[in-house]
Amino acid sequence: MIIIPKRDYDASQLENLIGWLKGRGLEVHISKGENMTVIGLIGDTSKVDIDLIRSLDVVEDVKRIQEPFKNANRKFHPQDTVVHIGGVKIGGGNFQFIAGPCSVESESQIIGIAKAVKAAGAKLLRGGAFKPRTSPYAFQGLRGEGIRLLLEAKRETGLPIVTEIMDISQLPLFEEVDVLQVGARNMQNFELLKELGKTKKPILLKRGMSSTLQELVMSAEYIMAGGNENVILCERGIRTFETSTRNTLDLCAIPVLKSMTHLPVVIDPSHATGYAKYVKPMSLAAAAAGADGLIVEVHNDPQHALCDGQQSITPEAFASLAENVEKILPFAAK
Ligand code: PEP
Ligand code: MN
């Protein structure tokens, strides 16, 4: 349920109402925007008399929220959420590039790529240390050593780091990691989501390859229900009947998620297409459709990459992509 107070509401009357609602065991969430304040209620509102609340002097309107997600709902929180990562902002008009290799392979590889993507405009460095691979015989990532090398690259370049957590047991290793990525395969690992909800770390939540947008938002809700509002949603392509690309990039996810939620939406054109040559056109399309950022796989030597070389672009190609995307941003859908 949401309550919209009158524009020139009396603060003490509103305080009384909030106290009364809390006394009924409801969690009260206040969102103060430039033009409107919204009071969101979480909990069992079935016993709240909607007509009684509507009749109060201080109240303009009351609405029941039909959707099963509350914290992530835009009706609850009309203005865009801006996630702060160190000094970097994402969302609410702040577009960012996250770039780096699929996996961290060595110190010189990650530091070299970090410097190159920073020079091209990336504000965050990606790199997998724990890799979810289809085959148990494929490279599984450098694990703890990979995180150590990412932190080394962060010290060298100042770029905050984004890396995937696959299991709750890995959490102590992520203490200095700036953004924890939850991969497509773990989008519905609810125990992991609940644990991440107890932290204040920004979370990059990737859409499961066969998940609906509502399921993605419900997974964000798990994190937010625990008290962590720093969630960035990521569309990375879904499974369809099409076989010419690794996945099918659902660009509709951008406007749809933005109307459902107030969270930033980032696009991953690398996993969505699976081919380096399609990464730039899809990046331009995503920027035009109103995405808040891109997460792009960049490798200095894609042919010899230990993971996802086929879809990785070179630092030079990334520089050209970033330059072109910047030109589109002033015309992007709002
Ligand atoms: C990745 O970002 O390297 C990755 C494994 O992504 P996804 O979970 O989207 O497959
Ligand atoms: Mn990858």
The DSSP code for 103 is: B
Q: What ligand has the least distance to the C-alpha of 298?
A: 2
Predicted confidence at residue 36, as pLDDT, reads 85
Closest residue to atom 9 of ligand 1, CA basis? 184
| Residue 128, φ and ψ in degrees, nearest 5 | -85, 135
Rounded to whole angstroms, the Cα distance separating 78 from 90 reads 17
Q: What ligand has the least distance to the C-alpha of 236?
A: 1
Residue 183 Cβ contacting ligand 1 at under 6 Å: yes
C-alpha of residue 97 to centroid of ligand 2, in Å: 16
The helix/strand/coil state of 273 is helix
C-alpha of residue 183 to centroid of ligand 1, in Å: 5
How far apart, in Å, are the Cα atoms of 122 and each of 16, 99, 294, 304, 332? 48, 6, 10, 23, 19
Q: How far is CA 277 from the centre of its chain?
A: 25
pTM: 0.96
Residue 207 Cβ contacting ligand 1 at under 6 Å: no
Residue 128 Cβ contacting ligand 1 at under 6 Å: yes
CB atoms within 10 A of CB 253: 24
Alpha helices in the chain (DSSP H): 11-23, 50-54, 107-119, 144-157, 190-197, 213-225, 253-260, 269-273, 276-288, 315-328
Predicted confidence at residue 300, as pLDDT, reads 97
Ligand 1 atom, smallest distance to 126 CA: 2
Residue 132 Cβ contacting ligand 1 at under 6 Å: yes
Ligand 1 atom, smallest distance to 131 CA: 5
Helix, strand counts (H, E) of the chain: 10, 14
| pLDDT per residue as tens, the chain (334 positions) | 999 999 888 889 999 999 999 998 999 999 988 888 999 999 888 888 999 999 999 999 999 998 999 999 999 999 999 999 999 999 999 999 999 999 999 999 999 999 999 999 999 999 999 999 999 999 999 999 999 999 999 999 999 999 999 999 999 999 999 999 999 999 999 999 999 999 999 999 999 999 999 999 999 999 999 999 999 999 999 999 999 999 999 999 999 999 999 999 999 999 999 999 999 999 999 999 999 999 999 999 999 999 999 999 999 999 999 999 999 999 999 9
Those residues whose C-beta lies under 8 Å from the C-beta of residue 183, and which sit 6 or more positions away, are: 132, 164, 166, 206
Ligand 1 atom, smallest distance to 236 CA: 9
Which is it for the CA torsion 273, 279, 282, 283, positive or negative?
A: positive
Predicted confidence at residue 35, as pLDDT, reads 81
Closest residue to atom 3 of ligand 1, CA basis? 102
Residue 102 Cβ contacting ligand 1 at under 6 Å: yes
For the CA atoms of 318, 324, 329, 330, the dihedral, rounded to the nearest 10 degrees, stands at 150
Closest residue to atom 4 of ligand 1, CA basis? 183
Rounded to whole angstroms, the Cα distance separating 154 from 295 reads 17
Per the listing, tokens 């029941």 go with 64
Q: Pick from 76, 145, 66: which is nearest to 104 by CA?
A: 145
Residue 184 Cβ contacting ligand 1 at under 6 Å: yes
